[in-house]
Structure 1
């Protein structure tokens, strides 16, 4: 029953991840009218489903490289509290329309629960080398890379099509955005469904139902990809409005550039097993693209609020997980 409880909250997290991060895949395409909102969500859901089956490297990192809980009920309690921390933080940031990172909410929750358990005497460890190498360094590097590459690609597009007819260019780039948005959706599945898969595999290992943290049963792929797709289809309109309209008013070439860069970052890091934030990738790419027009085109106050949300995500989710673990350990004992 304890393993089932952890799997259940992991899938709830997966669902909140879907509607929280639906904006990552479609906000730019919807804002430029390349896709209708409903068509965009359907495409994003399908892309998430496909991408989940390509995210094994990230799942293995999450399952074995973040925390090392003790086997048995106490370890399952730690994982349970950590995932609840991620869920609650997702709901808080969704309510306020902040495109924060579901990934870092999950990691913050796991670290907070593991530290609290260790402080209370459990044999629980945080794998700090994995946190630094696989989470913190990519957390800082991916937005910088997204911002710079977004700006560079946008400059290249402006130079290559500087003599083009604006109306024809917008029409062409709207069509191109269906491809770039689909790539974003697949990349999101590769990253974010994989994180839930890693949590479920960790729960199966700690609960004694499998002998390694790296083997991912096919039913785990299917369950996580399906739930993420359903969550994505339900939509996260508050965050879609923030990314698609409030940071900058995007035109189709800008939307294409931002989506292409973010998707490229997601595909590359997924193959390297680096669990980065899809939110950071697309938001920073949008800012980089917008800055090529003029720095004032980006609404930096809104961008600043988003960055504050990024900074608060890890400790905020950790605190919620600690508060959850204190009563939850009585149930998992």
Structure 2
């Protein structure tokens, strides 16, 4: 038996565990707004999000290839598997910490930070051009697009429905939020499940089980099921932050925020094949929608705490992953 197979099996299990935590950590991204506006009950919203996450995860593997092959040079052998394992540990620890604190941080950037931190601790090559072009720039641009588009779309809806009956308009937007929640979950599946696919495929390549970076069908299915199950498990701590603490949204505002965020995620996954944070995009879309009332309507103190969590996610996950690599290498070696 190949001596690397037991380590590979452990990494696949840990990667799917990360995928599961990603699901319950980011469940709020798809449903918090719809639940807070009473467009959907929590159970129905979670079931819808779980199904659409599954569908989204099965659509393409472009982002998986960016994460698995574009952040660090694909490592080889036992040390390479230690790097992948440490990266997952860093991401999972940060996910659990921010979930416990109720902070909607980015699981995507936690995983990427973990990869970079573990690679640096192992003195392994990091593709800094890929980190800058595929991670840092989209990390800055996508929230700005979310805020600006959220603001403009909400202004357009306010103008278009300025003479409508308020009760009927609210009821109509609650129905529309079922669709926007579904597309939000679809975009989340297209983005976040693919990152786990990329990690597992990187591990398979590192162990010599595959010769080229192509995501096997069983990896796609396993990652899709794991993130869908995690989504159904829910993330009510973060749901309260997104749904109520930033700003109390109307059904129209919820529809606008979700439509903008899902549009950004689907576009970045299919057109640009870059990993963006669903958390960043939906949060800034909510802020943009809220700012159409007046800028003081947004609880900027809460928003500031969220942004701080975003800023520290990459280095924090990298630090935990680096420590995990040192410990793992010492134990295994």
Equivalent positions of 1:124-163 (< 5 A) are 124-163=124-163
Equivalent positions of 1:247-286 (< 5 A) are 247-271=246-270, 272-286=272-286
Contact 1:55 1:189 in 2 (8 A): no
Distance 1:275 1:69, change over 3 A: same
Contact 1:73 1:207 in 2 (8 A): yes
Show the counterpart of 2:86: 81
- Which consecutive residues of structure 2, in runs of 5 or more, have no partner in the other structure? 1-5
Show the counterpart of 2:208: 208
Separation (CA, whole Å) in 2 of partners of 1:62 and 1:184 = 21
Q: Return the offset for 1:8.
A: 1.1
In the alignment, structure 1 residue 4 sits paired with structure 2 residue 3: no
Show the counterpart of 2:31: 26
Equivalent positions of 1:147-186 (< 5 A) are 147-186=147-186
Equivalent positions of 1:287-306 (< 5 A) are 287-306=287-306
- Which consecutive residues of structure 1, in runs of 5 or more, have no partner in the other structure? 119-123
Separation (CA, whole Å) in 1 of partners of 2:253 and 2:75 = 48
Q: Return the offset for 1:158.
A: 0.2
Show the counterpart of 2:316: 316
Contact 1:2 1:332 in 2 (8 A): no
Which range moved further: 30-39 or 52-61?
52-61
Q: Return the offset for 1:310.
A: 0.3
Show the counterpart of 2:98: 93
Q: Return the offset for 1:296.
A: 1.0
Contact 2:74 2:202 in 1 (8 A): no
DSSP 3-state at the match of 1:129: helix
Distance 1:321 1:328, change over 3 A: same
Separation (CA, whole Å) in 2 of partners of 1:186 and 1:248 = 24
Separation (CA, whole Å) in 2 of partners of 1:330 and 1:209 = 25
Show the counterpart of 1:39: 44
TM-score by length of 2: 0.97
Separation (CA, whole Å) in 1 of partners of 2:9 and 2:330 = 17
Separation (CA, whole Å) in 1 of partners of 2:200 and 2:306 = 30
Q: Deviations over 1:228-260 (max 9, x none)?
A: 000000000000000000000001000000000
Which range moved further: 323-332 or 170-179?
323-332
**Aligned residue pairs, count:** 327
Distance 1:260 1:307, change over 3 A: same
Q: Return the offset for 1:331.
A: 4.4
Equivalent positions of 1:91-130 (< 5 A) are 91-118=96-123, 124-130=124-130
Contact 2:19 2:196 in 1 (8 A): yes
Q: Return the offset for 1:70.
A: 2.6
Q: Deviations over 1:285-331 (max 9, x none)?
A: 00000000111110000000000000010011011101111111134
Separation (CA, whole Å) in 2 of partners of 1:142 and 1:3 = 34
DSSP 3-state at the match of 1:67: coil
Separation (CA, whole Å) in 2 of partners of 1:221 and 1:88 = 24
Show the counterpart of 1:54: 59
Which range moved further: 198-207 or 66-75?
66-75
Separation (CA, whole Å) in 2 of partners of 1:55 and 1:288 = 30
Separation (CA, whole Å) in 2 of partners of 1:72 and 1:182 = 41
Show the counterpart of 2:3: none
TM-score by length of 1: 0.97
